[in-house]
Structure 1
Amino acid sequence: MSQRPAPSLLLLFLLMIPGVCSQWSGWGVRYSPSHICALKDSSVIMSCTYKYPTGHQIKRVFWTKTRVINNVDFPDLSKDPEYSQRLQYLGDKQQNCTIRLSHVTLKDSRVYYFRFITNITGRKWIGVPGVTLTVTDLQVESPERVTEGDSVRLTCKSSCNLTDRATFIWYRNSQPLTTGIIGNQLNLGRISREDTGRYSCGVDGHSYRSPAVQLNIRYPPENPVISISPSGEIVSGDSVTLICSSDSNPPAEISWYKGRTFVGSGRIYSISKISSDDSGEYKCRSINEHGEKYSDAVTLNVTYPPRNVSVSIIQSGQIWSGGSVTLICSSDSNPPALNFSWFKENESSAVGSGQSFSALQSGRFYCQAHNQHGSQRSDAVTVTVHHGAGMNVIVIAATSGGLFFIIIIIIILIIIILFIMRKRRDGQTKKQISDPNEDTYTALDLKSTTSDLYDTLTTVHPRAPEDSCRTLDPQSFSKHENPSINRKMLQ
């Protein structure tokens, strides 16, 4: 290692003259090592020894970071505010010039020199080429793109090879790892999404750690799930939000389906003022470049009060005296209506309950259906009782039908009634004519009757039944006063 006497240009010139160097042969500074690579925030030992000719005494020793400043003496690091609190002289000021520099930073990277001054005027010495200090940090090098199932290797890198033998430590999410460490590398093998995290490295015995690097493991969507808000019963008119949660990397695109029909996209699907038409099964589909997955179906069961309440009639046509007509109340509701009330118009009190009602009198009747969400009434129907001969006929017409329809029904029913009454009268008349009392004819003795009586009988009964004629004695007609009538009856 070369040594150079200090700072006078004359001395430097004299060193170049042959024979002058011999008088400086007893001077020297030795550094071990001359190049140091230290980890950021660590402490550095700069080992140093020096010598000088016999007869000299050491007057002053110090370390500096500057070689020449225009023939001005070199600054002492121990008096520099950036170093004074971190620099410790470990030498004996005789031959050992070792120092310790603590908490080194990247700005401390430079060349440092030891300088000493003896008691003989002009005898100053600076050790060149000095100690080169390089301060390094640590950086984790990782692949830019990692897919589940890949084999991955992380490297803890520094700008120089650390002088001290280093044992590297690896951390995931600040927790130390114990497997897969080979030197300054971490081998993860076939990775899965569980290996996702922030990785950093350090050196055993040092508190410094590298900045953490996020290992982004890409994988297809897994187990999309639908959390319905609000939970519990959904009533018509509510606002409902469906949220699809999906584990994937990169984040998946979300699509919504009702049955097989696409209804929206995005992680959140909202329905304002929900109605019964929105009831059904919903699924979300989660998809990214690595695959897709459907969630399990969730069912939206929208409850609502009764609607479309109506009255239907079981029987139609003629209702005989003492009969009744049954009215049925129907409604659309969820849950189904279980309570039904029947009312007669212009009456405040209910006239019946239950889904069916038997009407026995004329009037306009309607029903009201109830569930826990509300109630609704139907349109009224008209029940009219017509009194006929020996019977009652009940005619029902829905008020929602037109007046023309009602009139037509009434006319048809009147015609039917008149036809039935006429048939009954004709039947009674025919019975009186065709069914004479046989006992009466048998009791008559034609031989003893007068001609006036016989004439009367033939007038009322122009033609006797054949059987009756056979029973008469032809001899008796010969004695009758009117033989022409006798012959006519015998024909």
Structure 2
Amino acid sequence: MSNCVSVVLSQNVWSVTYTTQSVCTLKGSTVEMSCTYTYPSGTVTTTFWFLTNNAEGNPVSLSDDPDYKGRVMYHRDKKNGHTLTITDLRESDSATYMFSFITDQTRWRYTGSPGVTLSVTDLQVKVTPYSRMSTWKRLTCSTTSCPLTGNPTYIWYKNGQVVTERTLPYSVLPNAVDSYFCAVKDHEDLHSPAVCVQGQSCYRVTYTKRRICALKGSTVDISCTYVGFYNTTSSFWFRSDKSTPEDLTTDPGYEGRVEYTGTYRGPFTLRITDLREEDSAEYRFTFKTDNFDWGHSFPGTTLTVTDLQVKVTPGTVTEGSWVTLTCSTTCTLTEIPKPTYIWYMNGEYLFSDSSSQYQYSVSRGGSDSYSCALRGHDKLSSPEVTVDTSSLSCLRVTYTSRSICSLIPSEDLPCTTIYSTG
């Protein structure tokens, strides 16, 4: 962990102190970056983290950056502490992040420099001779671009089965059919690619995706490639939360909704139709030959099934007479990377230039029902939400599903009522 970095002006009147100067973490993981700040007087009205500036030279909050949509969260405490959380990290997230805030006593923002430098990296296994006189091999779990923050413990897998936990290199007697992987403890799903320790071909399973977020009611394909030797006697997919591996095609909960496609060396694909929320789980693949079973502890692909929800946010006085509707999911959809949104009012499609956006603005002074869907998945629309602003002094929201979304109170809508009919 690096030492704290302080940025101070005018004898600590204005300051931002970052908890750490740099962080190196794994691709696909979650990171938190935090700071504390001080100011001479007044009340802080705006806090945010940023990377870039807009055309006018003003910093753009990460929460408004399309590349971070659905992956950024802010947390502000009562002691002038602020935390930025980024999920599902990508290599392109490697950058320097800075914190800025504005008070009601000034018209300008204060930004703490130099910020926090984030580096996102992958794992890899390096194979080296143990010594000149030995046939043993030394396996080292390392990162591709920077040393991981902290002192991680590594987990080693042999042919899909956990064999040891250690921080030092792992020595093995090479066998032509054995493959090895490594992962960081508590981040087992972010494992390294497989390596063969003797020759170029060995037992292994490689999943196409480690995480999938799919829409409730849709169809998803989860696939992998595998290499085996001799005759494969069986191969199937199973849920990791089962006490023993159970072929999904025999599971009553998936009856009529599961099929396998593909051949040896793949991709071997699990297709699940009519997705349900209870399908959210980690799915693993296994195979057997005449004298070999692929291990069951090797991490597979995690599927999260989400539905669409319309969240309602009343505007403030400065934003005018509008209510904002947001079409949201519990995770960022991976099967629809650039979704186009469809909005409905009272069951009728809304023809509007802004209707393809995930947010839709509604003027106050009426009572209508709204729902949203994704183009290409029109029949998988969200439950309807009735927004009643017929009284300009009161906002009432009725959800037709059992889940109730919370609202941010509005200054000019003192009466805010939320209730469900489902």
TMscore range, shorter length: 0.3 to 0.5
The structure with the largest strand share of the pair is: 2
Structure 1 length-normalised TM: 0.39
Structure 2 length-normalised TM: 0.45
| Higher RCO (C-alpha 8 Å, min separation 6) | 2
- Which has the higher Rg, Structure 1 or Structure 2? 1
The structure with the largest helix share of the pair is: 1
